[in-house]
């Protein structure tokens, strides 16, 4: 007799696989995008089942939300794009065979994996600058990774901007319904409030800069979609500085700790928690603005 929980997991996994197949086999691009968004939502549910609430929060906002918005925004142009000829049947068979081989190899590796000993990390956790293990890893033990990640974000924005035809203000939002406008009016304060809460919470519980940044980005994108506010250009004024703030703060803290203790990003005793909160604040602003910039770069007027 299998337990109801395991049955739920089995069904969830099977629906993921089915949706993956539906996404690839969809007749129209629109169908593929929508299936992929639903796929992202089920992924978020799987993260909860695997005790990864941090990842679940980020996936629900980014994987299902932002990626879906970006894909749907690209749809109109992509449908008109000229595509190369469809691959022949032998190519498809070869691809299927290699995919099957890959799955068998991966499955064999996963099943025969020897059990791992408890992590040495558990002993180091009480010394970390943050109580929550995931935040401790992100902003203390592996802070370098997070520094470089904010650099990747900024780089993606610069690359997207440089591919645009000309510097042009974002296209004004299409006339939207009064329903969306009142919804945005209602949701915006709550989004900002929950972003702040998620940021504050990150020190001791699931949450943090990643989740706060994406919630803030979602609020900004909704604001752009409803024409409540005149579209703003993130390439002008002080916006680029705000976009860079996370990266610049990170570099400043790295240099400061290098001068203070001799090791970059090795926080001084007692000051770790405050520095981590400062870094997370900058990271939140960078993540939110980078996502808004990537979204609005897709709808700029230079594209027409």
Partner 1 sequence: MSSALWFSLVGAALVAIALYGVFAEHHPLRRLIALNMMASGVFLVLIGLARQLPGRVPDPVPHAMVLTGIVVAVSATAFALALLRRLSRVQQEEG
Question: Which residues within the stretch 159-198 sit at the binding site for partner 1 (CB under 8 A)?
Answer: 159-160, 163-165
Q: Select from 4, 80, 123, 177 the one that contacts partner 1 (CB under 8 A).
A: 80
Does residue 291 touch partner 1 according to CB under 8 A?
yes
Of the candidate spans 83-91, 166-174, 189-197, 225-233, the one that interacts with partner 1 by CB under 8 A turns out to be 83-91
Interacting residues with partner 1 between 36 and 75 (CB under 8 A): 36, 39-40, 43, 46-47, 49-52, 54-55, 58-59, 62-63, 66-67, 70-71, 73-75
Phi-psi category of residue 138: left, alpha or beta, with phi > 0 → left and psi -120 to 50 → alpha: alpha
Minimum CB distance to partner 1, residue 186 (Å): 26
Interaction of residue 85 with partner 1, rule CB under 8 A:
yes
Question: In a 3-state reduction of DSSP, which class is residue 170?
Answer: strand
Both tokens of residue 94?
């070869």
**According to CB under 8 A, which residues from 111 to 170 bind partner 1?**
111, 113, 115-119, 121-122, 133-134, 136-138, 142, 145-146, 149, 152-153, 155-156, 159-160, 163-165
Q: Around Cβ 267, how many Cβ atoms within 10 Å?
A: 23
Q: How far is CA 178 from CA 130, 219, 227, in A?
A: 44, 17, 10
Rounded to 10 deg, the angle between the 29-49 and 4-25 helix axes is: 160
Dihedral of alpha carbons 55, 60, 62, 68, sign: positive
Distance in angstroms (rounded) separating the CA atoms of residues 245 and 256: 16
CA distance 272 to 129: 5
Query: Which positions from 92 through 111 interact with partner 1, judged by CB under 8 A?
Result: 92, 94-96, 98-100, 102-103, 106-107, 110-111
Least separation in angstroms between CB 218 and partner 1:
12
Which of 1, 4, 27, 82 touches partner 1 by CB under 8 A? 82
263 binds partner 1 (CB under 8 A): no
1, 4, 27, 33: which one binds partner 1 (CB under 8 A): 33
Residue 228 makes contact with partner 1 by CB under 8 A: no
Candidates 158, 147, 115, 117; CA nearest to 289 is 158
């Amino acid at each position: 007799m299998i337990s109801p929980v395991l049955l739920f997991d089995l069904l969830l996994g099977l629906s993921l696989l089915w949706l993956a197949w539906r996404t690839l086999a969809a007749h129209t691009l629109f169908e593929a995008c929508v299936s992929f968004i639903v796929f992202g939502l089920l992924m978020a549910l799987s993260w909860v089942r695997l005790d990864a609430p941090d990842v679940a929060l980020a996936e629900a906002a980014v994987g299902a939300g932002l990626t879906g918005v970006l894909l749907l925004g690209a749809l109109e142009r992509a449908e008109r794009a000229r595509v190369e000829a469809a691959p022949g049947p032998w190519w498809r068979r070869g691809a299927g065979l290699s995919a099957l081989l890959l799955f068998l190899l991966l499955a064999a590796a996963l099943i025969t994996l020897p059990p791992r000993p408890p992590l040495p990390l558990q002993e180091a956790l009480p010394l970390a600058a943050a109580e929550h293990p995931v935040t401790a890893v992100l902003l203390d033990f592996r802070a370098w990774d997070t520094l470089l990640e904010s650099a990747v974000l900024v780089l993606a924005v610069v690359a997207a901007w440089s591919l645009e035809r000309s510097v042009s203000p974002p296209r004004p939002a299409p006339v939207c319904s009064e329903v969306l406008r009142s919804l945005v009016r209602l949701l915006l304060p709550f989004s900002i409030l929950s972003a702040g809460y998620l940021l504050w919470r990150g020190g001791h519980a699931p949450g943090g800069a990643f989740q706060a940044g994406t919630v803030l980005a979602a609020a900004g994108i909704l604001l752009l979609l409803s024409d409540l506010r005149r579209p703003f250009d993130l390439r002008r004024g002080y916006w680029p500085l705000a976009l860079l703030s996370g990266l610049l703060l990170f570099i400043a803290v790295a240099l400061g700790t290098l001068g203070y203790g001799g090791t970059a990003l090795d926080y001084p005793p007692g000051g770790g928690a405050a520095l981590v909160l400062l870094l997370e604040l900058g990271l939140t602003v960078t993540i939110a603005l980078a996502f808004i910039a990537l979204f609005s770069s897709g709808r700029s007027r230079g594209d027409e």
